[in-house]
């Protein structure tokens, strides 16, 4: 299936994701989960996966859908257990299918039978928990709890910092994207009036570079400036007891 999606990326039909055929032929191949496999391809030197126009977006969509399907659960308070079980007993597959059809036509539809009433009542008590889905509301709530835990154990933060790396104007980012630039020369190979266009095109062709550059800058800030990676743990603000960061 993967080879049919991107024949130019897998021209020989090998190296595809979840390849059960080659793993069962006694070649000593081992299973690699989909997320790790995609991450590996996006870090290759030749950058053909990074520069593909649809590969990373399609795979991101598939990974998020799998995560939402396999790693989510329903949760409710213990005191609501009798109400939840009572509502579940009144719900059936046929009634849910009819309710879904009605909701597609009118999102503000009101229940008109016992099954639909029970389904709406169930939504009041049951929460959809999805902590492992990146960017989900559950992940945001989990980060709130982590921040509260840090404040309770370490006290209020003494410093708030917002970091916005200028990747578009940074020669390091251009080197990561594959441009041949001498970083020891401040204005090496600046193309005059077309330089801004070249930089923009470079990032548009390879968005993975922007993510790699962002991580590089953040790691340098926490590891060197804050001193997290130093042996004595002392940075420009002294010895940092703890820090917490999120990406917008």
* Domain coverage including residue 89: 73-129
pTM listed for this prediction: 0.68
- Angle at alpha carbon of residue 150, lines to 148 and 152, rounded to 5°: 70
Total residues belonging to the chain: 248
Looking up tokens 């126009």 gives 53
Angle formed by the axes of helices 34-41 and 55-70, nearest 10°:
160
Going by the DSSP 8-state scheme, the letter that residue 27 receives in this structure is: S
- Domain assignment present for residue 146? The answer is no
| Contact indicator for 19, 25 with CB cutoff of 8 Å | no
- Angle at alpha carbon of residue 107, lines to 104 and 112, rounded to 5°: 90
Count of domains forming the chain: 3
- Domain assignment present for residue 145? The answer is no
- Domain assignment present for residue 42? The answer is yes
- Domain assignment present for residue 135? The answer is no
Last residue of a domain, one of 49, 70, 91: 70
Task: Count other Cβ atoms within 10 Å, centred on residue 186.
Answer: 8
- Domain assignment present for residue 136? The answer is no
pLDDT in tens, the chain (248 residues): 677 788 888 887 777 887 766 555 556 667 788 888 899 999 888 888 988 888 988 998 888 888 877 777 777 788 888 888 888 888 888 888 888 888 888 888 888 888 888 888 887 877 766 666 777 777 788 888 999 999 999 888 888 889 888 887 888 888 888 888 777 775 656 666 777 788 888 888 888 888 889 999 999 999 999 888 888 888 898 888 888 888 87
């Amino acid at each position: 299936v993967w080879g049919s999606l991107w024949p130019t990326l897998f021209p020989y039909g090998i190296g595809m994701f979840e390849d059960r055929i080659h793993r069962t032929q006694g070649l000593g191949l081992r299973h690699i989960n989909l997320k790790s496999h995609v991450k590996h391809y996006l870090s290759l030197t030749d950058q053909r996966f990074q520069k593909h126009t649809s590969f990373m977006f399609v795979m991101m969509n598939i990974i998020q859908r799998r995560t939402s399907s396999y790693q989510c659960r329903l949760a409710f308070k213990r005191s609501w257990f009798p109400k939840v079980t009572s509502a579940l007993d009144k719900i059936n597959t046929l009634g849910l299918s009819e309710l879904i059809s009605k909701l597609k036509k009118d999102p503000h539809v009101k229940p008109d039978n016992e099954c639909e009433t029970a389904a709406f009542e169930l939504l009041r008590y049951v929460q959809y928990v999805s902590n492992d889905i990146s960017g989900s509301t559950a992940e945001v709530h989990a980060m709130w709890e982590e921040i509260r835990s840090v404040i309770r154990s370490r006290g209020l933060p003494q410093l708030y910092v917002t970091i916005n790396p200028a990747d578009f104007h940074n020669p390091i980012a251009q080197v990561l994207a594959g441009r041949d630039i001498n970083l020891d020369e401040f204005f090496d190979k600046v193309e005059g009036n077309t330089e801004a266009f070249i930089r923009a095109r470079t990032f548009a062709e390879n968005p993975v570079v922007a993510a790699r550059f962002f991580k590089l800058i953040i790691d340098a800030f926490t590891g060197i400036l804050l001193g997290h990676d130093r042996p004595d743990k002392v940075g420009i603000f002294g010895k940092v007891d703890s820090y917490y960061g999120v990406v917008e």
